[in-house]
Amino acid sequence: MPLKKLSPSNTSSVEAVKGTEAVEAVVASDKKANDGLQAKINGLPLDDIPQDFYIHPEALNVVLDSFEGPMDLLLYLVRRDNMDVMQLNLQRLTEQYLQYIELMESLQIEVAGQYMVMAATLAEYKSRRLLPQIMTEEDEEDPTEELTRKLKEYEKIKQIATELDGMPREEREFFVATASLPTLPAREVPPSENKILLFKMAKRVLVKIDKLTQYHTKGELLPLNECISNIMSRLEVSQKNFVLFEDICDPRYGRHGVVMTVLALLDLLHKDVIELVQTALYGAIRIRHNQNIKPL
């Protein structure tokens, strides 16, 4: 479940006691030590989270954004305090991060495992700085630098992702123009050479697969897209410019895998991306890029 983000608080007193404002009061009291501001409810100072305090997790969904992960949270903390990413105060950042995690837990919001991993990592960074500098064999990066580098990298990715989201795209800024074809008279088309070869290959492999599957396990289902992807990448990586059906068929998926591979090959044949070649009678059938189309 994504971690919830609290809206930045700049209030020092809270009048109404509604779920979200009460939470703001808690955050304000968070900063009490730093700002000298005191949170108040109905005129009385608020120091601790009330014992019977409960916000249904769903209620927070409406008001709050959610973080993508611990990196996102860290970035938020850095920005909230106007810390310069280049001049991180690891100590302060770690404290705030841990406080935040504690806050989430006290509000009974489940914190996903990766946030704990980050908390542990930050604690480890802190400890590294406390220990005397031991010359290790590996060149260990300074923790602050390492964190800064990671944060900068993540920040950049987030920025570009947002830019990408803003770019014109299909089904939003533009639509693809299509026109339907008139109904054409049905033509008897004999199966192409390619398809005949394909079914010959499939038959051979089906027989072999049955022999290989000695034990009955519940096979995983192989999605068509993945199958097509696999075939194309095998072709690209292959040094001989062709692959054999036996190479691309994974016995793990058994008969289902063979069927999916046949479907994938049919799809690629249909798009004229590949062709099948058999050089000798009863010889191996090779799958290769369609030679008729000039690769672009």
DSSP letter at 138 equals S
| 189 touching another protein, by CB under 8 A | no
Q: Pick the closer one to another protein by CB: 6 or 227.
A: 227
Q: Report yes or no: 122 and 114 within 8 Å, Cβ to Cβ.
A: no
Measured CA to CA, the distance from residue 255 to residue 220 in angstroms comes to: 11
In whole angstroms, give the CA distance from residue 261 to residue 223.
10
- What residues contact 275, with CB distance under 8 A and at least 6 apart? 194, 269, 287, 288, 289, 290, 291, 292
| Residue 264 beta carbon to another protein: minimum distance, rounded to whole angstroms | 13
Strand 40-41, strand 44-45: pairing? antiparallel
- From residue 140 to residue 159, the character string flagging contacts with another protein as x (rule: CB under 8 A) and all else as - is ----------x--xx--xx-
Q: Which two tokens stand for residue 244?
A: 């054999």
Residue whose CB is less far from another protein, 108 or 233: 233
The angle that helices 90-106 and 143-166 make with each other, rounded to 10 degrees, is 60
Tokens of 49: 């989270």
* Selection from 65, 64, 124, 76 nearest residue 100 by Cα: 76
Any residues with CB less than 8 A from the CB of 45 and at least 6 apart, and which?
A: 38, 39
Site for another protein contains 167 (CB under 8 A) = yes
Structure tokens at 46: 């608020």
Candidate list 13, 30, 55, 68; residue touching another protein; CB under 8 A: 68
Total of residues contacting another protein (CB under 8 A): 46
226 sits near another protein (criterion: CB under 8 A): yes
Contact call for residue 62 and another protein (CB under 8 A): no
Torsion sign across C-alpha atoms 102, 103, 104, 109: positive
**Binding segment toward another protein, per CB under 8 A, in 46-54, 77-85, 131-139, 161-169:** 161-169
Residue 137, interface with another protein (CB under 8 A)?
Answer: no
- Residue 176 or 186: the one with the smaller Cβ distance to another protein is 176
* Among the residue ranges 10-18, 55-63, 160-168, 254-262, the one whose residues contact another protein (CB under 8 A): 160-168
For the CB of residue 197, give the shortest distance to another protein in the complex, in Å. 21
Stretch that binds another protein, among 47-55, 230-238, 245-253, 281-289 (CB under 8 A): 230-238
Instruction: Report if residue 180 touches another protein, rule: CB under 8 A.
Output: yes
Q: Does 128 help bind another protein (rule: CB under 8 A)?
A: no
* Binding mask of the shown chain, residues 81 to 120, with x at each position contacting another protein by CB under 8 A: ---------------------------------x---x--
d(CA 166, CA 162): 6
Instruction: Identify the residue among 11, 230, 238, 278 touching another protein (CB under 8 A).
Output: 230
Residue type, 216: H
Q: Which residues bind another protein (CB under 8 A)?
A: 68-72, 114, 118, 150, 153-154, 157-158, 160-165, 167-181, 223, 225-226, 229-230, 232-233, 236-237, 272, 293-294, 296
